[in-house]
Structures are given as C-alpha cells and as structure tokens.
Structure 1
Amino acid sequence: MSVIIIAAIFIVGFILQIRLMQSPKTALLGNRIGAAFMGAAIIYTIVSYGGIGNSALWLWLVIGAFAGVSLGHVVKMIQMPQMVGMLNGFGGAASALVAIAGSSLYHAGTSWYLWLTASLALSVGMLTFTGSMIAAMKLQAIIPGRPVNIDKGGKLQQIMLFVIAVIVFLSTLITGIYVVWVVLLTIISAVYGVIMALRVGGADMPVVISLLNSFSGVAASITGFAVEDPLLVGVGAVVGVSGLILTRIMCKAMNRNLSAVLTGMTTVSNLRKPNNTPHSSSILKEINEKGTRNMKVGETVNSAKKVIIVPGYGMAVAQAQGKVKDLIDCLERAGKEVKIGIHPVAGRMPGHMNVLLAEVGIDYDKLYDMDMINPEFKNTDLTIVIGACDVVNPSANTAEGTPIYGMPILEVEKSKSVIVCNLDEKPGYSGVENTLYSMENVITIWGNASETVPTITEACR
C-alpha cells in the first residue's frame, strides 16, 4: 500500500507540472518541478530496488546526467524538435531494454501475463525508438522530408508485418524457443517504426512528434506492468495520455486525419503552377535589389496604428527571431500596438514558435493563439507575415481536394494591408499555391527573413 501512495504522490507532482506548463508565465516553474520530481523518482526507484551499492548503476547515472546537461546547452532552439524526437526515441529504447529483461521472467515460470506485457512494451518501445530517430533525421534534413511510400497507403507493409508477427508467435508457442520471439519481435517492431516515420511528410511532423511522445509514455506504462512497478505504470500513463491529447489538438489544428498522416497521404507535390502575374512583389524586388528604401512599405508601416506579426517556420530556419524583436521594438517606439499571432503548427513541434520568440526576450503577453487573434485581423491596419505559408493560405477555404482544404488558418487576408516576408513564392509543404501573394492589399518581399525583416524595421524609422 505504501508503494502505491508514494507512486500517487509522484504522479500528482507530474500532473501539477503539466498544469503549470500550460501558461508561459508558469512554464519555467512547471519544468523545474517536473525535473525535481523526476530526480526524486529515480532516487526512490534505485533505493527500492536495492541499487544503492551498485557502482555501475551510479556511473551510468552520472554519464546520462552529463549527456543531458551537455545537450541542453549545445542544442539550439531551432533544433529543439529534433532533440525532442531523439529523447522520445531514447525513452522508447529504455522501455524496450527493460521489456527484454522482463520477458526472461517467463522461463522462471512467471505468469504468462507478465511475458505478454513485456512483449507489448518491447514492440511499442522499439517502434518508438526507430520512428523517432527517422523523424529526427527528417527534421535535421539528414534524409528527405517528403513522404516515402513503398506501396500506396502502406497497407501491404502492415499486412506483411502482421502476418510475420503471427507466424513467429505461433512458432514460438510450438517450439518454446522464446529467444527467437524476442529477437524477431524486436526486428519487426523496429522495421515498422521506420516505415511509419518514412511515410510522414515534413508538414505533418508536429503530429508525429506528439504521437511518438505518447508512444514513449505508453511503452513505459506497459513496461511498468511487466516489471510490476506502479510508479512506472502511472508516470507512463500520464505521458501517454497527455501525448494523445496533444496529438488530437495538432490533428484538429491541421484538419488532419491521423491515419492519413501515418500513411503519408496528406502532403503532395506542387498542385498548381505559381501565379506569374506581375504584382507589387516584382516592383518591390526590383527596388530592393537597387538598395533603395521602398516608399510603399514605408507609407504602409508608418500609417498603421495596429500591427499583427505572424511568424512561421521560415523565420525559424532563417534564425530571424532577433530581427523580429528589433522590428517589434521599433514599431512600439513609434506608438503602434503590436501583437503576435501564433498558429498551433507554425513550427515543427507544438509550442516551437513560442520558445523561439521567448529566446530573444519577446513578452509572452504579446503572443496570441489562432482562436484569439483571428477576430482581430479585420480591424488591423497591417499584418506582417514572416516565413509562414500554409498557415496563412486562403486556399484552405476554397481549394477542395487539397491537403490543406478545411485546415484552420490565420486570416491575415482580412487585414487592411499585409506585408509578406517569405523566401520565395513557391508553395509550402502542402504543395498548394498561396493565393495570398496575389491579393491587392498584399506586398511581398522575397528573400531570407534575416535580411528582409530589417528593411521593414528601417522603413518605420
């Protein structure tokens, strides 16, 4: 009973952490509380399993802590999605290793239930590990971000892997050679994790990162059943459930079906040729190339009283958040009201954009989510889009049959004036041409955001 009470205390602490991290103002405190409870849980586990005198255990604990602290200092904010993906994978691998050890209990005559849960934990853990590694490599551009389908819809792989798993399971029951089961189950789960992640396109990475985070928790929870540890069961369940909730939020924000995401059926190549009709962007490009301040941009910026800035992943890639901070400071010094609209999937993971902006000291109070900021665009004098494409594409409301049709977007086109600072006029990850670029109230400035944003800052002086 005391073990359950202690486990409940730790679980309540982790739930408190999640609650505090829902607000930017209390997120840091929540993170520290979570770290403290996790450290205490590790120490408690070591003590309860009699590992105090195990020098090898303490050595690996120190090595792991050193690696974690080092990564925390070395990894840049732009690389945070990759790091989260890797950490999800490490969590899955840890569960798989414990499950492998737990599966050996069956030979000692332990209940088949423990062996079964160990097998499930091994499957989910290995799937999480390989899937997370592929996702991290896609985010790091080590492998292409486009979806890779060996067969349409991925049904052939699923059927083959399921049939192989059943055959191996039956043969194991007949022969009694459970080592074969563990080895082949590890291989099958690892292969499926690779296939699952390869099928997902770069635009859907926020969903995948959330799902893999959930899988790591589920694997840990099942492992807890296998080794009969209530603390591991509860903590894993908290992570698994929160990850599933976040996955649902991400799917809703992108108007995605989870099965479509996992089969790579949402991201396509360029559906329509770019609109080459001359408009204000060609004029601005010519003026900017001559090194002359654009009078139209200056007039638009200086006449605006209410400004909304919409950052996207292009801003993150260009590492232009510092330039955005300079722009905000300049606008506010000129007496303008400035707000920042954040789409739920503006980065490559949930909350990524908020972290990048906080890194350069932008006040949390200026950040507004999509539901809060959308009603304000119609009363806004100027919206400045920086490195965002699909999340501001009006085609989401009209282009039926496309990957973004029905996806909630930031309604920037309703503003009186819009300035777009994107790299070029090519479609985003969805492959759908952005009709925002050709609207009459829109000025486009093509180029790297770290170079184009300062031109707007200069114009407001």
Structure 2
Amino acid sequence: MLHFLIQLSYFLAAVLFIVGLKGMSTPVTARQGIIWAGVGMLVAVFITFFHPEIHGVTNFVLIIIAIAIGGGLAWKTAQTVQMTEMPQMVALYNGMGGGSAGAIAAVYLLAAQRNLLDTGQNAIYQYMGADVAFLAVLGGLIGSVAFSGSLVAWAKLDGRMKRNSLVPQQQLVNIILFAAMVMAGIWVFMSGGVFPIFVFFALALLFGVFMAVPIGGADMPVVISLFNALTGLAVGFKGYVLGNPALIIAGTVVGAAGMLLTHLMAKAMNRPIHNVLFSGFGTTGDSGGEGPEGEMKEVGAEDAGYMLAYAESVVIVPGYGMAVAQAQHKIWELVQLLQERGVDVKFAIHPVAGRMPGHMNVLLAEAGVPYDLIFDMEEINEDFKTTDVAVVIGANDVVNPAAKNDESSPIYGMPILNVDEAENVLVIKRGRGTGFSGVENNLFFEENTRMVFGDGAKVANKMVAAVKEL
C-alpha cells in the first residue's frame, strides 16, 4: 500500500509539473504556473521521506540539511537578484539541475562497481542491466556537460569570462575531447573499475567547459535554452535508473520543451544549431562588412517626447539596455501619458531580445504593462510601415537592417523587427558602441533615425516631463 501511495504521489507531482509548465507558456498564467510547479515539487519532496530506501537517521538529517541550504540560498537570491542578472541566475540554477543528474549517475555507477566484487561479474552493464547502465552513463554524460557548460554561460553573461578559446584550434580540440568522452563512456559501460568512471566524468565536465567557451555572447539565449533541454533529458534518464515516474515525466517534458524552444530561438536567428555551437558568432571582432555610411543624427530627450506626443501610432522595442537602465517603469509611465492623448502605443518583442528567452516579457510584466499591448515579431512586423514613431530602447542587433540588406554582415539572414520601415525612429542608447554581437548597427545611420543618447531611465524621465508640459 505504501509503495502504491508513493508512486501515486510521484505521478501527481509530475502532473503538477506539466500543469505548471503549461501555465508558464504565456505571461497571463505564468505566475499560477510557477505556483503549481512549486506545489508539485513539495509533493515530491515530502513523499520521498516515506520511501523505503530512505532509512536511518543520518539520511533524514542529510536530506533536511540539503533542503535547508538549497532552499535558503534560493530564497535569498530570488529576493535580491536584479532583472539584469536574471539570465545568469537561470543559467546557474539550470547547471545545478544538470549537476544533480550527473551526481546521481556517479553514485549509482560507483555503487554498481562495488557490488561487482560480490557477484563475480566483470562489467557494470551485466550487473545493472544493459538498458539501465546505458541510461546511467548517458544521463551522467549529459548532466555533467550541462553542469559545466552552464557555469561557463553564467560566467560569460556575468562578465566574468570574455575568452572565446582556451587552446589553439579550439573546435578541433573539442571534437577530439568529445570522442574521448564517448570512448570513456563505453569503457565504463563495459568495465567495472573506479578509474574509468573517474576519467569519464572528468572528460564530461571538461567537454562542457570547452563546448561553451567558443560560443559568442549573441548566442547565449539559444545556449541557455539548449543546456536547459540537456538538463531535462538527464533528469528523465535518471528517473528511469531510479524507477521514479515523476523524474521520468518531468525530465522528458522539460527536455522536449527545451529542445523546442532551442529550435525556435535558432529559427528566430535564422541559424541552425550546429552554426550556433561552432561558429562563435558574437565574439570580439565579429563586425564584418565595411560599416554603414553617413552620420548619427542626435536629438534631445525633450524633443523626442514632443515627437511622441504628436504622433498617432508608436511602437516601442525594448532590449537589454532597458534592463540595465531599469527604465521599464518610466517607459510604462510614458506610454500611459501618450494613451491619454489618444496615441496608439504597442510593444514589439523579438524572440532573442535580452540575454535569455522571454527576458523582455518579464521586464514589461514587472512594470505592469498589459499583455494585450505586447506583440511578437511575426504579429507586428507589418505594422511598422504605418507607424509614425518607432522607439528603440536598449535593443541593437534585433533591429539592425544589415540583417536584410548586407550580405557581408555576420547577422545577414536573421529575422529582425522592421523598425527602419517606420516614418520616424528614435533610438535611446547610452553610447555609440556596437551591440552584444559586436556588429555595427546600420539603423543608427538611417535618414529617418534620431539618436537620443543617455541613460534609459533618465531619458524616459525627461520625455515624460516633456509630454506632461503639453
């Protein structure tokens, strides 16, 4: 009876995970989705205390200590993390999930190795069964790669790592390292020693680092999504090894959703996954081409506010710079003033704007922007032709016309928001530098573009004051 209740509880937890993930598919129900997923995790953790394999005071104490440490750190960081640091936190926590899956695989493989001495068998797969041993090794490989790779992604997003290679011929070394890792995995599967297990996990962790280092900063949203998918797959494989249906279902769902999101993100950049992983797009010196012609034309924040006040239609395109300036609240105040004057205002979101999937949606939701004012690229791109003023605040690569008309540009072919087609364009930008990819933005030099230089929040505040004066 106890076994049935435990399995039923794990199944219920898995259902709650799915309901939560479904809720997080749209900003309208995202908060409820997070709550449902949290309830599912509570159910899974609580019922684990009654699992027959969890026995002895020491095990219970260790579990409670782990929950206290992990829960305390998560609570503290969630309370203090800035919106600009959210991508780093997502990458870091995602890496912890992969690391957990890798650690479980290591424990089970080491336990199987010890038990081989008592059974007289020579290979781990003979003791564990070929299917379980295969998934244990594969889950350990994927989880370890996701762990170390996510740590590199965190370091790059946080500005702690700027290198794009560790050794000469980095990609060739990566191929050799990958082959060595696979061979070590086969060695573990076919043998029963501790040394092969140690070599295997060392190579897997090292490959995760070498895999992530060459990837350019502009590809980080795709990479975060990919490592998230890998973590889900690793968790699903561990669920099979442990005989835990909650882990199987939740891991499979997260893995599938992560793979789909990775595909959509890569599609939004018009680049195949292998190009993301091996091209190093977004690295230093990646500008390409001869650069745009003409000069940037500057306008003051007050004049920009007047232009918006007398417009009939306005589309605002946010980017990572808005997050850095924490300007989303002032922008929303500006939008409300414009709406009171009868201006039709919308927000346009590019799929890879920011440093992670959905970054801009989170920022706008935090400021209280209604969801019906926020439009995806496919929904709003045609509207730019009839837009009086397009306002770009903190966005760069996702509005660069070079993606459409400069075949020498590294971002050529990437779908962008057609901001350049608006009658007037206002670009709010701190300085004259290039975007995260290092590519010069041709939009800044267009005849219909005016640059508003300065901190995003301060510029938005001056625009608000200008509109209020009218």
Say whether the fold is shared (TM-score over 0.5). yes
Task: Determine if contact 1:78/1:356 at 8 Å carries over to the other structure.
Answer: no
* 1:229-308 equivalences in 2 (<5 Å): 229-268=244-283, 269=285, 270-272=287-289, 275=292, 277-281=294-298, 284=299, 288=300, 295=303, 297-308=304-315
Q: Does 1:43 align with 2:46?
A: yes
Displacement of 1:253 in angstroms is: 0.8
**CA separation of 1:400 and 1:152: change in aligned 2, threshold 3 A:** farther
State the distance in 2 between where 1:163 and 1:41 align: 37
For 1:191-241, what per-residue CA distance to the aligned partner results, in whole angstroms no more than 9, with x for missing partners?
100011111111111001101111111111111222232322221111111
**Residue range with higher mean Cα deviation, 401-410 or 206-215:** 401-410
2:400 maps to which residue?
393
Give the 3-state SS of the residue equivalent to 1:25 in structure 2. coil
Letter in structure 1 aligned against 2:467: C
* 1:118-157 equivalences in 2 (<5 Å): 118-144=136-162, 147-148=164-165, 150-152=167-169, 154-157=171-174
For 1:391-428, what per-residue CA distance to the aligned partner results, in whole angstroms no more than 9, with x for missing partners?
01111111224331111111111111111112233332
State the distance in 2 between where 1:205 and 1:71 align: 22
For 1:33-66, what per-residue CA distance to the aligned partner results, in whole angstroms no more than 9, with x for missing partners?
0110111012223322453752222222222222
**Residue range with higher mean Cα deviation, 257-266 or 45-54:** 45-54
Task: Determine if contact 1:273/1:433 at 8 Å carries over to the other structure.
Answer: no
Task: Determine if contact 1:148/1:200 at 8 Å carries over to the other structure.
Answer: no
Give the 3-state SS of the residue equivalent to 2:453 in structure 1. coil
* 1:29-428 equivalences in 2 (<5 Å): 29-51=32-54, 54-103=60-109, 104-109=111-116, 110-113=127-130, 114-144=132-162, 147-148=164-165, 150-152=167-169, 154-163=171-180, 165-166=182-183, 169-170=186-187, 173=190, 176=191, 178-268=193-283, 269=285, 270-272=287-289, 275=292, 277-281=294-298, 284=299, 288=300, 295=303, 297-428=304-435
Displacement of 1:164 in angstroms is: 6.0
**Residue range with higher mean Cα deviation, 25-34 or 447-456:** 447-456
**CA separation of 1:141 and 1:239: change in aligned 2, threshold 3 A:** same
State the distance in 2 between where 1:164 and 1:219 align: 16
Give the 3-state SS of the residue equivalent to 1:88 in structure 2. helix
Task: Determine if contact 2:288/2:408 at 8 Å carries over to the other structure.
Answer: no
Give the 3-state SS of the residue equivalent to 1:418 in structure 2. strand
Letter in structure 1 aligned against 2:347: I
Q: CA RMSD in A?
A: 2.4
**Residue range with higher mean Cα deviation, 41-50 or 256-265:** 41-50
Task: Determine if contact 2:232/2:251 at 8 Å carries over to the other structure.
Answer: yes
State the distance in 2 between where 1:10 and 1:209 align: 25
State the distance in 2 between where 1:365 and 1:277 align: 38
**Residue range with higher mean Cα deviation, 325-334 or 335-344:** 325-334
TM-score for both structures, normalised by structure 2: 0.89
2:124 maps to which residue?
none
Letter in structure 1 aligned against 2:193: Y
State the distance in 1 between where 2:221 and 2:433 align: 22
Aligned counterpart in structure 2 of residue 451 of structure 1, from 446, 451, 458 = 458
Letter in structure 1 aligned against 2:165: V
Letter in structure 1 aligned against 2:211: M
What is the percent sequence identity of the aligned residues? Answer: 35
Give the 3-state SS of the residue equivalent to 1:445 in structure 2. strand
Displacement of 1:369 in angstroms is: 1.0
2:26 maps to which residue?
23
Task: Determine if contact 1:306/1:382 at 8 Å carries over to the other structure.
Answer: yes
State the distance in 1 between where 2:320 and 2:188 align: 49
**Residue range with higher mean Cα deviation, 237-246 or 157-166:** 157-166
State the distance in 1 between where 2:89 and 2:305 align: 40
Task: Determine if contact 2:181/2:200 at 8 Å carries over to the other structure.
Answer: no
Displacement of 1:26 in angstroms is: 1.1
Task: Determine if contact 1:172/1:178 at 8 Å carries over to the other structure.
Answer: no
Give the 3-state SS of the residue equivalent to 2:49 in structure 1. helix
**CA separation of 1:153 and 1:259: change in aligned 2, threshold 3 A:** farther
Unaligned runs of 5+ in 2: 117-126
**CA separation of 1:213 and 1:172: change in aligned 2, threshold 3 A:** closer
1:431 maps to which residue?
438
Give the 3-state SS of the residue equivalent to 1:443 in structure 2. strand
Displacement of 1:82 in angstroms is: 0.7
State the distance in 1 between where 2:188 and 2:105 align: 21
Task: Determine if contact 1:88/1:216 at 8 Å carries over to the other structure.
Answer: yes
Give the 3-state SS of the residue equivalent to 2:260 in structure 1. helix
Give the 3-state SS of the residue equivalent to 2:29 in structure 1. helix
State the distance in 2 between where 1:37 and 1:112 align: 31
Letter in structure 2 aligned against 1:215: L
